[in-house]
Amino acid sequence: MKNNNYTEEQQYLRAKKRVKAIKGFYVHLTVYLLVNIFLIVSRSFSNGEFEDLWDWQTYNTAIFWGIGILFHAFNVFGMGILLGKNWEDRKIKELMDKDKRDSWE
């Protein structure tokens, strides 16, 4: 009985740690969006013209910080965020179904 409670406690702690990591990612993403929207808008309106809107320096913070956000997402969600769960199985089934259709035509 004691061993079962210990396992449940471990599961709870792991789940709590995972929720904290997911929450941290969403906070990071929110700050990223707010700060970069502010930077892009303020840079665009700084001269009263929109020429800076197409300048590299307007977006370099968003691009490099975005790379950091991408790594943070991979760390929290794993590669499943890109391809999803069971991607290989779904793709194999899709290709097999396509081959089956093509062979009948």
**Burial readout 79-105 (b: 16 or more C-beta within 10 A, e: otherwise):** eeeeeeeeeeeeeeeeeeeeeeeeeee
pLDDT of residue 100: 74
Rounded to whole angstroms, how far apart are CA atoms 15 and 89?
27
Nearest to 36 by CA among 7, 65, 12: 65
pLDDT of residue 70: 92
Per-residue pLDDT of the chain (105 residues; tens, 9 = 90+): 455 667 888 888 988 999 999 999 999 999 999 999 998 888 877 766 666 667 777 788 999 999 999 999 988 888 766 666 677 778 788 888 877 777 665
pLDDT of residue 1: 46
pLDDT of residue 86: 75
| Number of residues assigned to the chain | 105
